[in-house]
Amino acid sequence: MNQRRSFLKTSATGAVATGALAAPMIAKAQSPEVRWRLASSFPKALDTIYGAAEVLSKRVAAVTNNRFQIRVFAGGEIVPAFGVADAVGNGTVEIGHTASYYYVGKNPTFGLTTSIPFGMNARQMSAWMYHGGGLQVSREFYKQFGFLNYPGGNTGAQMGGWWRKEIQTVADLKGIKIRNPGFGGRVHAALGAVPQQIPGGEIYQALERGTIDAAEWVGPYDDEKLGLQKIAKFYYYPGWWEPGPLLEFYVNQKAFDALPADYKAALEGACHEADITMTAEYDAKNPAALARLVNAGAQLRAFSPAIMQAAYKASQDIYNDEANKLPEFKKVFDSYSRFQRDSSRWMRVCEAAMDNFRPAA
Amino acid sequence: MNQRRSFLKTSATGAVATGALAAPMIAKAQSPEVRWRLASSFPKALDTIYGAAEVLSKRVAAVTNNRFQIRVFAGGEIVPAFGVADAVGNGTVEIGHTASYYYVGKNPTFGLTTSIPFGMNARQMSAWMYHGGGLQVSREFYKQFGFLNYPGGNTGAQMGGWWRKEIQTVADLKGIKIRNPGFGGRVHAALGAVPQQIPGGEIYQALERGTIDAAEWVGPYDDEKLGLQKIAKFYYYPGWWEPGPLLEFYVNQKAFDALPADYKAALEGACHEADITMTAEYDAKNPAALARLVNAGAQLRAFSPAIMQAAYKASQDIYNDEANKLPEFKKVFDSYSRFQRDSSRWMRVCEAAMDNFRPAA
């Protein structure tokens, strides 16, 4: 941090000297060279998510004539995948790209800006964040950790993962060991299953060896690469625990404050681009991947209404419990759940009527 | 155009002189002052759509330290609302913000990048454009008109408008005079209705006087401002003729080519931001507006399955007809309809299962 600040100072001084000789050039001549490091929580293998950080980096460089450069590092390269919040907060890196729900152990409020069971879909998350108060309430919450956030792409509703056996009733879930972190895991536990936290790279082996009975990951495009279809043939939907997971860029507040106004603007603008294009990329890649998986023998199964209803009820109990215990969870959740309720009343009228239309045979 | 080009030259010369004295400043010292005019097709009263052009303008100015400024003009101020494509193509203005389907009279292919009856929803349009080939095929088509395009916001599925009488069967549509331009109007005509082209500002009077029997506009937020709820109480959904209307920025190709690389990048990045934030804004504003309309007495009605199916069938006949007549329509439509088919197979599995979940009472 200190190194960069001293550069800023030098550059500004240089500009004043130049300005005396060529007045109209002053504004741009002050543009300092800035080098940031971005710690992603994701491996390059998750190319769509990882790629969002590269979209950001390229756009920022392009609009600043390469004077503001953000170098992207994959999860674990310079910061552990789940250490991104800390690393951005303490200034080890200036910016991170991560999923907030990785930090629910730190504070359950983190879960709300990614996705919660039976929460909002991708469009709703975007509307809540940009125009429904989501960005404000989440920034108030993040302030204590030393960073601010920008939406950074949405995977869309995720799949319910790969199951070795079919399940119909809540009783069928009893004792099922499922890879499912976060709030989804807590809901599964409430229903009698045994949630496991397993990094992506170890899921295949755990499922193959029978250490776990089921595993969820992302959606067809990413799931296909893990190869889980070879060892668990029932592919369930929907992933009710992740109806619209939003990734986020975390930006160290001091590093942000030290940026010139045009670089701040470049960063903000580029976050929006990374956000919309990542979602679009998943939406473009998932259909063909699902078709390939089904052609290769994956058996699509919908979670039964009984399981969906029980999971819904358990999830609401957990949110109420957290809201009663933790005022900052309550504050963000109140904003979230009010927006979801209002938004769904509209989406269920117009969007749903259109989306649910099927041509007669 | 010539004036700006000569400025570019002067500025570059100036920079070389400065460069000899302060080498590290060269790159930015070359940044020229660029002033563009943006012709919107929309009145300021359509504040959400109109605002997208202002989002673009503000971001471009901010990332270039106000050296690249885009001044936004409302529809009719310097260019007629429906003259934006021509004005951008012939260089009267450098950039426009418009709905391509205003130009179906010029060529029906224009309809495909906005919205067509029973076409794609907002997320699908975004995925098709950015990662599904939509931007490529539409740019190939637009080339002949002298401009290139960027997605510029989506209203989401629109409502089916205000009807003085309830309709149940296709026969009920016979002779109904409905304000509904473009492909929607053609489908209505095929079903026996009499479509009318009426500018937004004249709809209220036409409906009040009984010159028309029904009128569609946008969605709850914009419809409420027209006041149609006072004169036609049945508010139908969904607007099957506009399941996900995308606005677009048109950019004059020569003006774009003349921009320095960093200004091109600033413009491209800002278009993405305008795109995602406009959609988010509608999604945030429509729910409360719908609630207000219903509280004020609007009677929500769903179009009957019979009308939906008949409209679907008529729309497919029109597309097939256009594709047979016009190779460039066929090319864009093939890309569009293939993407829609594949995307819907995926969205109907996972997103729909989640969106359609309802908690037990």
Which residues of chain A does B283 touch, with a Cβ-Cβ cutoff of 8 Å? 123-124, 126-127, 131, 343
Q: For position B198, what pLDDT does the model report?
A: 87
Does the CB of A290 have a partner CB in chain B at under 8 Å? yes
Reported as a single tens digit per residue, the pLDDT across A270-325 is 999 999 999 999 999 999 999 999 999 999 999 999 999 999 999 999 999 999 99
Q: How many CB pairs below 8 A link A and B? A: 269
User: B131 and A302: CB-CB below 8 Å?
Assistant: no
User: Between B18, B28, B238, which is nearest A350 by CB?
Assistant: B238
Query: Phi and psi dihedrals of B162, rounded to 5?
Result: -105, 125
Residue scoring higher pLDDT (A30 or B172): B172
Q: What percent of chain A has pLDDT over 70?
A: 92
User: For residues A153 and A275, what is the distance between their CA atoms, to the nearest angstrom?
Assistant: 4
Mean pLDDT across chain B? 92
Q: Where are the alpha helices (DSSP H) in B46-101?
A: 47-63, 84-89
| Contact state of B240 with A302 under an 8 Å Cβ cutoff | no
Question: Distance of CA B169 to CAs A350, A351, B51, B69, B303, Å?
Answer: 20, 22, 39, 53, 9
Residue B280, SS3 per DSSP: helix
* Among A199-203, A246-250, B15-19, B321-325, the least confident range: B15-19
pTM of the shown model: 0.92
Packing angle, helices A182-190 and A305-325, rounded to 10: 110
User: Under a CB-based contact definition with an 8 Å cutoff, are residues B339 and B128 in contact?
Assistant: yes
| Residue A182: pLDDT over 60 | yes
With a threshold of 0.90, tell me whether the complex ipTM lies above it: yes
Q: Does position A25 have pLDDT exceeding 80, yes or no?
A: no
Q: Give the pLDDT confidence of B238-290 residue by residue, as tens digits.
A: 999 999 999 999 999 999 999 999 999 999 999 999 999 999 999 999 999 99
Q: Say yes or no to pLDDT of A172 above 70.
A: yes
Assess whether pLDDT exceeds 50 at residue B317.
yes
Of B344, B335, B342, the residue nearest B112 (C-alpha)? B335
Radius of gyration of chain B from Cα atoms?
Answer: 22
Average pLDDT over residues B199-211: 92
Residue A135's H or E segment, with its range, is: helix A134-142
Rounded to the nearest 5 degrees, what angle is found at the Cα of B338, between the Cα atoms of A351 and A235? 70
How much is the mean pLDDT over chain A? 92
Q: Measured between CB atoms, does A16 come within 8 Å of chain B?
A: no
Interface subset of A 242-271, CB within 8 angstroms of B? 243, 261-262, 265-266, 268-270
Is there a contact between B130 and A276 if contact means CB atoms under 8 Å apart? yes
Closest CA–CA distance from residue A351 to any residue of chain B (Å): 6
Q: Are strands A246-252 and B34-40 parallel, antiparallel or unpaired?
A: unpaired
Task: Answer yes or no: do B281 and A127 touch at CB < 8 A.
Answer: yes
Tell me the pLDDT band of A2, cut-offs 50, 70 and 90.
very low
pLDDT band of A269, cuts 50, 70, 90: very high
**Residue B26 reports pLDDT greater than 70:** no
Per residue in A175-211, is it b (16+ CB within 10 Å) or e — as a string? ebbbbbbbbbbbbbbbbebbbbebebeebbebbeeee
Residues 187-246 of A with CB under 8 A from B: 219-220, 237-240, 243
Given a contact cutoff of 8 angstroms between Cβ atoms, the answer to whether B70 and B58 are in contact is no
C-beta atoms of B343 and A302 within 8 A: no
Within an 8 Å CB–CB cutoff, is residue A361 touching chain B? no
User: Which one is predicted more confidently, A224 or A28?
Assistant: A224
Confidence of residue B201 (pLDDT cuts 50, 70, 90): confident
Q: Which pLDDT score, from 0 to 100, does residue A29 have? A: 53
- Cβ atoms of B120 and B128 within 8 Å: the answer is yes
What's the rounded Cα separation, in Å, for the pair A72 and A96? 9
Q: What is the largest CA-CA distance in chain A?
A: 80
Q: Note the Cα B296 to chain centre separation in Å.
A: 29
